[in-house]
């Protein structure tokens, strides 16, 4: 008899990240299979990175754009089946960026649920449509297998109205124009992991998810009380190609200059952030390797924004007991961590330089000096595990 497993999926515009978690005695085991299907964007070269191996997809790359996604998904399904051995997929758990005001807890996707979530696509245009297309595609690939929606906004449902409310007319708030917050699956994982590592995790904790998308979250007693992202995934920190916090008057100025909506959306989501400031790349690793002063300026601005927003959240919490870094930049960029901590040293934060240099995101580890007033951790995130765990809970 085949052993059951849950497939966790994060469908994006150009990639599908996935992991397969075995179900053992009503609990999840470590992922037996993980990877990313890349090159799904128009003109991209499709390949599959599977457990550190790269598999080519020449036959799929030769197809026209309309059939590439479906063919790539079918190929992915066959590769998962091939490498999963005796494991049978009993549920597919999907990361869904926006749950709006209706969804905080993970749920089984029905036709009505999918239709409601489609209504939030304009709130996260780079993510939500692809997330939901992935749900539909995997439902077709695995007929009869439950599809589970797990929401990035859900973790922040505990934020008070003083945090979620904009200073706009009440009618706008009642129609859903409010702050939601994102990166919730990542924060849930990091929060849970920290509770097994430090007693201070139940105190005043600041979590920094720093990657191509970046945000901070203030957490007390394990619950989100404030975060830097808001109505959309544009707000807050400077990001890879997203602007972060922006005076809305800039949008009005652009409209007066005759810019249309699609152009504005492209500038805000795809041409700003590290890419916009540097004019070189949205990838922090590329900028670190560059001697161009524009790269240096972009890194400095990114670091400054993290420190600036951190100060606001620390004030909301009335102090700080623990700081945790996660995400692609947070886990791997030791210099960024050092620069952020140095900017917060007036609060008594002190790094252990050797520990900071050795923290490469392969495991959770403390990087604070023995005499630091605040614990500092590097915790690799696993959004897929959280989504798979929610799926298992719904199925039990």
Q: Is the alpha carbon torsion for 333, 361, 244, 228 positive or negative?
A: negative
Q: Is 343 annotated as a binding residue?
A: no
Nearest to 5 by CA among 108, 94, 84, 96: 84
Residue 146 burial class via C-beta count within 10 angstroms: exposed 0-12, middle 13-18, buried 19 and up: middle
Task: Give the H/E segment covering residue 358.
Answer: helix 353-358
Q: Is 383 annotated as a binding residue?
A: yes
In whole angstroms, how far apart are CA 177 and each of 123, 167, 170, 195?
Answer: 10, 10, 10, 33
Q: Is 312 annotated as a binding residue?
A: no
Q: How many CB atoms lie within 10 A of CB 294?
A: 13
Asked if residue 348 lies in contact with residue 226, where contact means CB atoms within 8 angstroms, the answer is no
Q: Is 212 annotated as a binding residue?
A: yes
Q: Is 17 annotated as a binding residue?
A: yes
Q: Is 211 annotated as a binding residue?
A: yes
Q: Is 95 annotated as a binding residue?
A: yes
How far apart CA 190 and CA 382 sit, in angstroms, is 8
In whole angstroms, how far apart are CA 263 and each of 34, 220, 258?
Answer: 36, 40, 10
Q: Is 10 annotated as a binding residue?
A: yes
Q: Is 98 annotated as a binding residue?
A: no
Q: Is 130 annotated as a binding residue?
A: no
| Parallel, antiparallel or unpaired: strands 33-38 and 47-50 | antiparallel
Q: Is 213 annotated as a binding residue?
A: yes
Q: Is 332 annotated as a binding residue?
A: yes
Q: Is 285 annotated as a binding residue?
A: yes
Q: State both tokens at 52.
A: 């550190």
Q: What is residue 97's three-state secondary structure?
A: coil
Q: What is residue 360's three-state secondary structure?
A: coil
Q: Is 127 annotated as a binding residue?
A: no
Q: State both tokens at 138.
A: 């995997």
Q: How many CB atoms lie within 10 A of CB 168?
A: 11
Q: Is 101 annotated as a binding residue?
A: no
How far apart CA 158 and CA 165 sit, in angstroms, is 13
Calculate helix-pair angle for 383-395, 184-195, nearest 10 degrees.
90
How far apart CA 24 and CA 247 sit, in angstroms, is 51
Calculate helix-pair angle for 248-256, 261-270, nearest 10 degrees.
140
Q: State both tokens at 190.
A: 């990091």
Q: State both tokens at 55.
A: 């598999």
Cite the active site residues: 152
Q: Is 240 annotated as a binding residue?
A: no
Q: Is 134 annotated as a binding residue?
A: no
Residue numbers belonging to the annotated binding site for substrate = 95
Binding residues for Mg(2+): 10, 383
**Binding-site residue set for ATP:** 17, 209-213, 283-285, 328-332
- Annotated binding-site positions: 10, 17, 95, 209-213, 283-285, 328-332, 383
């Amino acid at each position: 008899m085949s052993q059951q497993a849950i497939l966790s999926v994060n469908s994006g515009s150009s990639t599908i990240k996935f992991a397969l978690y075995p179900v053992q005695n009503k609990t999840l085991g470590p992922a037996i299979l993980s990877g990313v299907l890349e090159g799904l964007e128009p003109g991209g070269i499709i390949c599959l990175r599977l457990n550190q191996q790269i598999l080519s997809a020449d036959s799929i790359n030769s197809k026209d754009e309309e059939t590439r996604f479906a063919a790539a998904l079918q190929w992915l399904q066959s590769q998962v089946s091939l490498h999963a051995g005796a494991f049978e997929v009993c549920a597919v758990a999907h990361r869904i960026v926006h749950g709006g005001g209706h969804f905080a807890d993970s749920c089984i996707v029905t036709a009505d649920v999918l239709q409601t979530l489609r209504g939030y696509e304009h709130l996260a245009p780079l993510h939500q449509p692809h997330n939901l297309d992935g749900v539909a595609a995997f439902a077709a690939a695995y007929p009869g297998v439950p599809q589970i929606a797990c929401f990035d906004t859900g973790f922040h449902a505990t934020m008070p109205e003083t945090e979620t409310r904009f200073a706009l007319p009440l009618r706008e708030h009642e129609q859903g124009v409010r702050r939601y917050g994102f990166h919730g699956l990542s924060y849930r994982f990091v929060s849970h992991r920290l509770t097994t590592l430090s007693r201070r995790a139940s105190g005043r904790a600041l979590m920094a998810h720093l990657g191509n998308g970046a945000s901070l979250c203030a957490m007390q007693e394990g619950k989100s009380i404030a975060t830097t992202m808001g109505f959309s995934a544009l707000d807050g920190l400077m990001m890879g190609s997203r602007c972060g916090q922006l005076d809305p008057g800039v949008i009005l100025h652009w409209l007066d200059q005759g810019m249309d909506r699609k152009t504005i959306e492209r500038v805000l989501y795809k041409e700003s952030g590290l890419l916009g400031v540097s004019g070189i790349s949205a990838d922090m690793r590329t900028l670190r390797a560059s001697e161009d002063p524009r790269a240096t300026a972009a890194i400095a601005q990114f670091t400054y924004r993290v420190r600036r927003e951190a100060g606001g959240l620390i004030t909301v919490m009335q102090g700080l007991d623990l700081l945790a870094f996660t995400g692609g930049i947070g886990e791997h960029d030791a210099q960024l961590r050092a620069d952020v901590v140095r900017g917060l040293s007036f609060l008594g934060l002190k790094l252990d330089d050797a520990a900071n240099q050795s923290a490469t995101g392969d495991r959770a580890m403390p990087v604070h000096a023995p005499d630091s007033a605040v614990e500092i951790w590097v915790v690799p995130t696993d959004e897929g595990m959280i989504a798979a765990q929610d799926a298992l809970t719904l199925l039990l």
